Amino acid sequence: GAVVSQHPSRVICKSGTSVKIECRSLDFQATTMFWYRQFPKQSLMLMATSNEGSKATYEQGVEKDKFLINHASLTLSTLTVTSAHPEDSSFYICSVNLAGGPQETQYFGPGTRLLVL
Amino acid sequence: EDQVTQSPEALRLQEGESSSLNCSYTVSGLRGLFWYRQDPGKGPEFLFTLYSAGEEKEKERLKATLTKKESFLHITAPKPEDSATYLCAVQVSGTYKYIFGTGTRLKVLA
């Protein structure tokens, strides 16, 4: 499998500020990473697909100007929540796509808990 | 519309009491079906990938099976440490995207 880290694990911020979350692929180069959001007792909802060296692809209903994604290298993707509001409080999880061969499995990071006051 | 449904929503078992979790799917074309385990406050942990009807995978007390309409995760003689939320996801043909079910919250009592 793939080892994925996220930083920070938890963050508390004031309404109106911006928060950056990092997702790193530690043991292989990932051309594609995914960002998900998970509300309490709900499943994972895909927000966007992060592509190294090109613009991210956002899912319907996700504001690209609010959730800025940068995939500047093969091991790092960042999600910046701009002008955060309390309704942005959630659990944000990234994953990397381990492609090739018969399997295309996503391996997930440990998640980042965001609380906007 | 592509859809994934998991049942039951929650399940309580006594230690040693075997059971099965269900994942039903309706997709235009199945590229793969994935099972994950998620502990509270953590990211999903990969368990199995299934690609075609009739395929089975096993790992310790867990066994995953796949038909053309659904997948089962069988848990044999569960232990308290098997308590977690089990997520099912499908990957639709022609895309890397996963569609997740809402999960089954499993609690195994000692």
- Tell if the CB–CB gap between A108 and B45 is shorter than 8 Å: yes
Which residue of B59, B98, B99, B107 is the best one to mutate when testing the A interface, meaning the one whose CB has the most A CBs within 10 A? B98
Question: Which pLDDT score is estimated for A99?
Answer: 64
pLDDT tens profile A79-114: 999 999 999 999 999 999 876 544 578 999 999 999
Confidence label for B1 from pLDDT (cuts 50, 70 and 90): confident
Q: Which residue of A has its CA nearest to B4?
A: A43
Neighboring chain B residues of A107 at a CB cutoff of 8 Å: 46
Question: Which pLDDT score is estimated for A72?
Answer: 81
Instruction: Flag whether residue A96 sits within 8 Å of chain B, measured between CB atoms.
Output: no
- Tell if the CB–CB gap between B49 and A44 is shorter than 8 Å: no
Compare A104 and A14 and report the one with higher pLDDT.
A14
Chain B: closest CA distance from residue A74 (Å): 17
Neighboring chain B residues of A104 at a CB cutoff of 8 Å: 31-32, 91, 96
pLDDT tens profile A27-72: 888 888 999 999 988 889 999 998 888 889 999 999 999 999 998 8
pLDDT tens profile B27-69: 888 889 999 999 999 999 999 999 999 999 999 999 999 999 9
Distances (CA, A) of B24 to A36, B1, B73: 22, 14, 11
Residue B109 has a CB neighbour count (10 Å cut-off) of 11
pLDDT tens profile A24-33: 999 888 888 9
Residue A86, SS3? helix
SS3 string of A8-45? Answer: CCEEEECCCCCEEEEEEECCCCCCEEEEEEECCCCCEE
Question: Which pLDDT score is estimated for A102?
Answer: 46
- Taking the mean position of all CA atoms in its chain, how far away is CA B29? 19
Report the alpha-carbon angle A34-A36-A42, nearest 5.
Answer: 150
Looking up tokens 């368990």 gives B47
